[in-house]
């Protein structure tokens, strides 16, 4: 073997060795990279599954409330109501939940029934809400009262504009809601309990000359309202839970303050809080 041949052979050996070594380095790198990536993705998946289960089993007020809850400390320090908003996940369902506490002077309403009569005076909601910044009323009408098992059922057609975040600014809302008394009430010491829900789909309402095609601005809306009298303070205590899914595709954290403002503005206007 000549010197030139030996040098060529050694050169090829080292080239193969270097390529093999580099290949091994890259192979080890990519092997470790994908291994770590897989672990990371699995960890994220488990975390998301845990969060999904956590939110799916989050205790909502209608699950756990059995006695009239106490309003948060300083709830009525500055005004006659306070509210708290949260985003709740139940499986694939996501909604914005608003919990409202209100204190209403009993001297204005001799009975709990008279207080509810004020709330169900849907024909005057546009008057009650006139001048409010968060809601611009268009039409508010109550349908004739019906009865289920001898108890009154109220239906409300409500059309208004509400404040919305940038770049929408205002959101048209048109909804047909039904209010049913919950008898017996799930809350032991509540004197009156109502649940309300959207009526979906098309409904021709001849009494109002209205061809209601479907809800506008909201996909889903459900709530419960509890009421009792505090005889010592001579105050009506109102506890309301609403769960709303807006039609607009916004992050819940962005939409939530506007949903809360609409809820509180309605109670503020109707009861002159």
Q: Closest by alpha carbon to 227, among 169, 271, 269?
A: 271
User: Quick one: tokens of 232?
Assistant: 């010592």
**Distance between CA atoms of residues 62 and 223, nearest Å:** 9
Query: What three-state secondary structure class fits 264?
Result: helix
With beta carbons less than 8 A apart as the criterion, state whether 258 and 165 touch: yes
> What residues have CB less than 8 Å from 184, skipping those under 6 apart?
none
Predicted local confidence at residue 153, as pLDDT = 98
Predicted local confidence at residue 28, as pLDDT = 53
With beta carbons less than 8 A apart as the criterion, state whether 178 and 155 touch: yes
Predicted local confidence at residue 45, as pLDDT = 43
Q: Which residues of the chain have pLDDT under 70?
A: 1-65
Virtual CA dihedral for 210, 162, 267, 175, nearest 10 degrees?
A: 30
> What residues have CB less than 8 Å from 218, skipping those under 6 apart?
173, 175, 198, 244, 245, 246, 247
> Under CATH, which architecture does the 58-270 domain have?
2-Layer Sandwich (3.30)
With beta carbons less than 8 A apart as the criterion, state whether 262 and 103 touch: no
**Distance between CA atoms of residues 207 and 156, nearest Å:** 12
With beta carbons less than 8 A apart as the criterion, state whether 68 and 240 touch: no
> DSSP E strands: which ranges in the chain?
81-90, 93-105, 135-142, 146-148, 151-163, 170-181, 192-198, 203-205, 210-212, 218-230, 235-246
**Distance between CA atoms of residues 184 and 227, nearest Å:** 14
Question: What are 50-91's pLDDT values in tens digits?
Answer: 333 333 334 455 445 688 999 999 999 999 999 999 999 888
Query: What three-state secondary structure class fits 42?
Result: helix
């Amino acid at each position: 073997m000549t010197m030139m041949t030996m040098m060529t052979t050694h050169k090829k050996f080292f080239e193969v060795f270097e390529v093999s070594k580099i290949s091994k380095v890259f192979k080890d790198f990519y092997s470790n990279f994908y291994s770590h990536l897989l672990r990371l993705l699995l960890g994220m998946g488990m975390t998301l599954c845990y969060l999904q289960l956590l939110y799916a089993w989050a205790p909502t007020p209608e699950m756990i409330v059995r006695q009239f809850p106490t309003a948060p400390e300083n709830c009525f320090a500055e005004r006659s109501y306070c509210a708290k908003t949260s985003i709740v996940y139940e499986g694939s369902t996501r909604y914005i939940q608003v919990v409202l506490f209100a204190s209403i002077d009993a001297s204005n309403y001799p009975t709990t029934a008279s207080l509810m009569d004020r709330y169900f005076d849907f024909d005057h909601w546009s008057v009650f809400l006139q001048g409010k910044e968060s809601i611009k009323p268009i039409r508010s009408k109550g349908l004739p009262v019906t009865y289920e098992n001898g108890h009154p059922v109220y239906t409300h057609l409500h059309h208004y504009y509400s404040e919305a975040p940038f770049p929408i600014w205002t959101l048209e809302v048109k909804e047909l809601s039904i209010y049913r008394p919950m008898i017996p009430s799930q809350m032991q010491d509540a004197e009156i309990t109502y649940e309300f829900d959207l009526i979906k789909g098309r409904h021709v309402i001849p009494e109002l000359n209205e061809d209601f095609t479907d809800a506008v601005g909201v996909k889903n809306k459900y709530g419960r309202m509890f009421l009792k009298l505090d005889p010592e303070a001579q105050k009506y205590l109102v506890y309301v839970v609403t769960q709303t899914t807006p039609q607009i595709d916004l992050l819940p954290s962005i939409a939530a303050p506007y949903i809360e403002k609409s809820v509180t503005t309605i109670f503020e206007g109707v009861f002159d809080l």
